[in-house]
Chains A and B, each alone.
Chain A
């Protein structure tokens, strides 16, 4: 394997690492490269006298080799760019190898060693096609003071704005309208469903399906549902409270309210004074001398009759 092919494979690997957005043909391409690398590792192992190897070991070696090659490629590319070129030369690679502590002089000898195995070239697969960048809008032409050989301007959306073709609904009226009708539709569908699946009462005798009312079901503890706010209400309340900070800048007494009606405070210890006392109070809870908090005593032997 000559240097160019090595380099090519290096480039391929670079693509493999960086180009994560590989489509299916691209994936095939990279898989083929990798397989070749695996064959190389196996060949080297055979050369060294191994008869068999665990798959995991081979895999690990492949991985090591790949990262080594990748590193060489990356460094060589860096050197070349450092000298304001875009394609690495042999010198770049050699410098890289030296830099990485490899004696480059041994390479030709090693390459021409007698017991080396010849590996078939990887099957020719189509190099992955880089997907065309989304072109949106008209590319700007160069102004007069820029020579024409300079690269073209990129698409305007990358540096000016991204035009979209549908206006987002920003009209307040429409938003409200939509929210209202959506809510209403959901409610209607839900209640209709409930009415269809459960018992109903009707206001009309001739058509009991018109205006169905979900039948009234007595509950055994009616005050609970009537007094406790529903979970949904609590939830929306919390949401509101969290978003209240920015909402309420206009109302002058918002600050005061916010302190008093902090959602956490509401739930845990809303009756506690807003000063530092509450926490102290809470910890003193067992210190409070209230007869109802005292433990129940064990019975005495004496018994009143």
Chain B
């Protein structure tokens, strides 16, 4: 496959930049040329692990990016230059590469810059061959601090330390702060030109071989050409990740226009952002080039690419919309996309604004990173969203995904303050839900989302929508409760990110509640039209700032349109994290005819905040429903609400409801003295809250029966679980039978009924709960034990039919077993299931029947240590197993949609194992978890494995899972494994386990430190898991520092006496600590090791001052190129060396592990262990806090010196081949040193001096 890109970029100045630069920077021309090459001949580097890639011939020949940009230099003193010079005059060009058949990507940039001598770009994984500015070779530095977060061995393994180091590393290359991995030095000849505001062109040649992130290659291992095999590639990433596949300014706030060219095999289609201008064959007619132009200023993270042998479907309603899917799936695509135009129409109508781009493309790919990802004018979806007309359950899900993707197309792509955009797109998506799926569905969804965010915040602490980082100091951290930083999207855990999105749209809804929907839509319309006006302005890049949506602009727009001040609301929910927790109770005062309501708050526990302001309370009385708005104030708990009704229960009169309906009620259950039927607190969910309200059971029952709001009904159902009485039973049964009731409420009622039945087991009368109901609704009239042949025309009853058996299976008799007749009933349902006359597939129904079987399982009565054999299998279990085996085997012959049956069978088998009916064994799940099964099946198998690992405490399985995390081709699966391990951890920080050992700590540490550098999300997942397993501080399984400490200079830390810890690596363990002379020697060694692992200057982030100084040295060379650099570096090195020789002890004091060293130096006499560890952590955090800011002067200075030391040692290292050899050996033992990223950087041509 050959890709040829020509990207035209017009970049805008960063708002955060100083105004002066801003004015002096006109639009710049920035253009790239990228060429991707496929490796037809497998190089020795492409190991067997990279199976997909090595066999996929990726020829990326040349990629050109051209554009206009106002790339500006941050002229502050934060620039740095590290002595790795990369430009070689005889650098291979395109033709050489073609001849050599090595895979590479090439990128050319032509920028114009003003007063700019350094250009910083983002680039990861790319190997840069040469950079030219205006045809002049330009020196450049490539340094990626996130490759390895902590550079030296830290036996402390402190997550606090890691998180701050990681945040600092991300900050160090943060494009929004003007940083980047790639620093290009503008040749001095051009400085003059730059000062004259003339155009500079930057041209970057780069290659990208076997990328582990950014681009994903799916290459099925079958016969045939790439097109026949359905091989495809697409870009992906968590937040801004475009830097993974070409050098760019990887920021949402840097907008530019684009021209893209992709040369691909003639059988392939390249889909990218913008308008396809033309497609042209290459000269040999075997490839073709796609030319795209994106005239609307767009940020680099919104650029994407998908290449594959796609089938093309032009939307029959909107010819500007084109859909792409993998071969053979066209019929599914046609069906799945048949209603997309309705979503389009809906959004355009409510926003009274046209879709911002001139075309739209949807691409469905396999092994997608996320279900849907939106980019400028295109969206990439998972192919698993496609479905045929026979599938019921997937249809609403797919439609929701499409609606979400489209909502993001309107709003999500112009990023400034993330919460605003996520909020708006989530909000208009909600409006679509309301219109398409109805108000019930919408309110149900809002409640679901609210419950989710409340649960998360109460558990994990607050979610902050709009954090402000004032000083950036540790104590100013707005979210100290989290184990990761929320400063950068790349450090956010996935869960948090999802909750963030969820909260954002809920807050948007709160704003709507305040200012009305009409105004809300007006605001959106205004924002959109401003943006579109701005985008049509050519080259006046300052206009483009209008396209970026900040909180401030949004709020201003709201106050302009509505004239309302929503400041308090924003302050409460946007600037502060956490939710509100209410406890409500009431008493009725008969004398005064007053309802005395008490509302208390819990604002002390984690994730809660105090709420002051209005709250709505709805009281349903005999005379009708009344809304009251109460003020929650600081100290008032009690609120008196006058009642309207006189107690006049004797009159037979209909009772008016909130919606005007009048109903007859049987009032015999209620309290004779009070006219209150039920009370609801905050019925509109206009506060992000959890309400625990106490009212009598009959009131809940009335609420369930007669309140028409689905949220109230659902609340009543969950409250009734606590009241297992015949009256509750009756209320639930009535709801179940009521056809008008929302089906999800009825489904919930099923489960509640099962719980109530179990609580009432000794007094339960009649057949098992729901059985007669099910019989009446779904079984034949003539023979009630046989279910009707399936007819799923009515979806409501379909969902009920699916749910009831699942809930019924949860019933238990007095022996805590599933009643025999329930089990037989379910078995009969399976037996008589007949779908021949049905126009819909019954795969989800059958899957639910399997789930019902699973639910009916109870733990086996085990006689001590008895081995589970076929012979002693329980008779019921035998029947169940029989069914499951048959289902699973049939699935091999007639696979169901998305293999739903297999998925449930696997979890059923795991359930049988866990309950001790069959021997616990992981091999079956392992085979299903292998790459090559459908992803749902894999995830189900992995879930079983994770459970197995926890129950059996199996370290082999844990290793197997972690291996998969490192090696599996599908990113989604890797992410999923870590997520499941965190959710169902084999052990936690509070429990002891044999699994928790040092090797595991090391392994996980390496995984998050360097093993996941190609995928932000995965790294955050690993951090999450580490947190779950070990907590924030030093994992307990690591040996405690004790007496008899020795100083290991190689590890730069004090360790236990080697006799206590024999597994320590060999190294110059100095037995006599604090000997200055030996320190010197040891240091030398240590640095070599370190430098070898880490290609460039380590920890850029914590050495800004040093960098500054270095740059200062480099700043004024009179000649460009090699000499300058070498001499400058030499200079620095000498200087450093000088320092080293004179101040060795100083260095030791400032080593990466100051506490340990200090220990070695200071605590020669026995120090009590506890006090020491305390000191350790406090020092560590102090140290970590320093990274971005140097408030302690002497620390600052120490750092400088330390850096120079390193430099000196590196220098030495270069000449000491002996040491190098040793280091190589060490490298091999290091799990991640061979990762392509670090390995390549080490050996890349640009690095070789």
Contact = CB atoms under 8 A, between A and B. Distances in A.
B862 interface: no
A176 B329 contact: no
B319 A290 contact: yes
- Of B282, B332, B888, the most chain A CB neighbours within 10 A belong to B888
Contact of A293 (B266, B314, B837): B314
A274 B1247 CA distance: 65
Contacts of A300: 280
Interface residues of A, number: 80
B9 to A, nearest CB: 17
A261 B870 CA distance: 48
A299 interface: yes
A206 B332 contact: no
A237 B222 CA distance: 31
B869 interface: yes
A217 B893 CA distance: 12
Contact of B886 (A191, A219, A228): A191
Contact of B841 (A179, A180, A229, A297): A229
A294 B540 CA distance: 34
A227 interface: yes
A292 B322 contact: yes
Contacts of B386: 227
Interface stretch (A63-71, A123-131, A138-146, A197-205): A197-205
Contacts of A61: none
Contact of B927 (A172, A176, A201, A303): A201
Contacts of A272: 316
B1175 interface: no
A269 B388 CA distance: 13
Interface stretch (B20-28, B334-342, B609-617, B1065-1073): B334-342
Contacts of B359: 291
Interface string B374-386: 0000000001101
B831 A270 contact: no
Given A184-B831, A223-B384, A176 B335 contact: no
Contacts of B841: 229, 233
Given A203-B919, A232-B894, A237-B839, A195 B889 contact: yes
A216 B892 CA distance: 8
Given A176-B834, A291-B276, A292-B269, A257 B314 contact: no
B334 A271 contact: yes
A304 B266 CA distance: 19
A115 interface: no
A190 interface: yes
Contacts of B935: 222-223
A149 interface: no
B919 A205 contact: yes
- Of B322, B384, B870, B897, the most chain A CB neighbours within 10 A belong to B870
B881 interface: yes
Interface string B776-787: 000010110010
Given A195-B889, A218-B931, A240 B281 contact: no
A116 interface: no
A267 B332 CA distance: 9
B834 A296 contact: no
A224 interface: yes
Interface stretch (A44-52, A156-164, A243-251): A243-251
Contact of A176 (B334, B388, B783, B867): B783
- Of B312, B930, B933, the most chain A CB neighbours within 10 A belong to B933
A206 B281 CA distance: 64
B881 A203 contact: yes
B924 A213 contact: yes
Given A211-B885, A227-B329, A180 B834 contact: yes
Given A191-B889, A247-B837, A229 B390 contact: yes
Given A266-B335, A292-B276, A292-B314, A190 B329 contact: no
Contacts of A228: 328-329, 332, 388
Contacts of B839: 237, 240-241, 244, 261
Contact of B281 (A188, A270, A298): A298
B1008 to A, nearest CB: 29
Nearest to B336: A271
Contacts of B221: 220
Contact of B834 (A179, A291, A298): A179
Contacts of B475: none
B504 to A, nearest CB: 32
A240 B895 contact: no
A290 B783 contact: no
Contacts of A239: 836
B118 interface: no
B37 to A, nearest CB: 16
B837 A180 contact: no
A210 interface: yes
Interface string B277-297: 111111101001000000000
B959 interface: no
A216 B931 CA distance: 11
A266 B389 contact: yes
A172 B782 contact: yes
B392 to A, nearest CB: 13
A103 interface: no
A190 B326 CA distance: 32
Contacts of B835: 236
B932 A271 contact: no
B923 interface: yes
A202 B937 CA distance: 18
A278 to B, nearest CB: 8
Interface string A168-180: 0000110011011
A253 B793 contact: yes
B1058 interface: no
Contact of B892 (A214, A223, A229, A298): A214
Contacts of B897: 226-227, 229
Contact of B383 (A195, A223, A305): A223
A270 B918 contact: no
A181 B833 CA distance: 11
A121 interface: no
B895 A225 contact: yes
A10 B166 CA distance: 112
A187 interface: yes
Contacts of B786: 172-173, 176-177
Given A172-B780, A206-B869, A288-B319, A240 B838 contact: yes
A207 B314 contact: no
B909 A203 contact: yes
B274 to A, nearest CB: 11
B837 A237 contact: no
B805 interface: no
Given A172-B782, A210-B870, A214-B888, 16 more contacts: A191-B890, A211-B881, A221-B229, A224-B328, A225-B934, A226-B384, A226-B895, A227-B383, A227-B387, A253-B793, A278-B316, A290-B322, A291-B359, A296-B280, A297-B281, A299-B283
Chain A to chain B: the 7 pairs with minimum beta-carbon distance, closest first? A218-B932, A271-B338, A191-B889, A291-B276, A173-B783, A226-B934, A220-B220
Interface of B: 6, 62, 64, 220-222, 229-230, 266, 269, 275-283, 285, 288, 312, 314, 316-317, 319-320, 322, 326, 328-329, 331-332, 334-335, 337-338, 359, 366, 383-384, 386-390, 780, 782-783, 786, 793, 831-832, 834-839, 841, 867-871, 881-882, 885-886, 888-890, 892-895, 897-899, 909, 912, 918-919, 921, 923-924, 927-928, 930-937
Interface of A: 172-173, 176-177, 179-181, 184, 187-188, 190-191, 194-195, 201, 203-207, 210-230, 232-233, 236-237, 239-241, 243-244, 247, 251, 253-254, 257, 261, 266-267, 269-273, 278, 281, 288-294, 296-300, 303-305
18 contacts: A172-B782, A176-B786, A190-B890, A201-B923, A203-B919, A206-B870, A220-B229, A225-B895, A227-B388, A239-B836, A266-B389, A270-B389, A271-B337, A288-B314, A290-B322, A293-B314, A294-B279, A299-B280
